[in-house]
Structure 1
Amino acid sequence: MKKPALDPATVEGRSGSIYPAPFQAAVAGRVKRRLGDALGLSDFGVNLVELAPGAASALRHWHSAEDEFIHVLSGELTLVTDAGEQVLSAGMCAGFPKNSGDGHCLVNRTDVPASYLEIGTRAPDTDRVVYPDVDLLVEPGRRIVHRDGSPY
């Protein structure tokens, strides 16, 4: 295929996370294919994400300066927010406005892989990511700190 078209299977999948070691286990089994990067997009990111059984998309979090949108493509995912939990199946979607204060994540609680598209604003120089359940913040510039501001 030629740009602007793209076969997502040709984009390298990446696992791992910027999280400090104590928090990386939550996202073991998550693979992201950065489709937006592969297509040269700069204002927003687009990732094709696969979650293995038992894996989470992230620790529960919210962004101060980045909107997020997800669309479930296959399988079943549990959306965890401040309001509780709900199951999303293929075809369903969810949106997370910037600065909402409502922490969210997706968890694959089934025995089969699930996949979703993740689309979001790119504002790494101004965005602050808050993790309400753990002692972790990501400050602008992707600086990782404890809640008291001390570095990891």
Structure 2
Amino acid sequence: MTPTRWTTPVAVVLVAGVLGVALAGPLESFGLPLTRLPWTAVAAVLLLAVAVLALGWPVRRWNRGHRDRPLDPLRAARTAVLGQASALAGAALLGWYLGQVAYLLPDVAYPLPRQSAVSLLVAAGASAVLLVAGLLVERWCRLPDDDDEPPTGAAGLRSR
């Protein structure tokens, strides 16, 4: 598994943001109130971020030298995948919510769109927390570099 580059979440945020702006109007005209967001959505995203961090913490401790218990390699790999998936899901949600805020900006002077924009910004903040938690856990799950192994491959041949 390759680590997530910073460009991937940025691209996901941009694509989801464009989709959020483009789809908010047509879906709202069909009677779907996309801008009404329950507080449980924010709580669920924050709870997911806490769960991702809690699952990644033992791997972080093990990588930092606290090896009082053996670490199951399959669990560490699954935690790394969970971190990457959480980062991408957080990026998608962040873009979607920000796209809907951008859709509401022309009408933000009125009370109802303003309330919706504020709740969407709070949800976007929670999504950003999930994005950061996922990237952090993915980073925690990287194996430490082994300095004892000689370099292999074409890069190792060039460095000699």
TM-score bracket, shorter-length normalisation? under 0.3
**Could you say which structure has the greater relative contact order, defined with CA pairs below 8 angstroms and 6 or more residues apart?**
2
Larger radius of gyration: 2
Report which of the two has the higher share of helix.
2
TM-score normalised by length of structure 2: 0.19
TM-score normalised by length of structure 1: 0.19
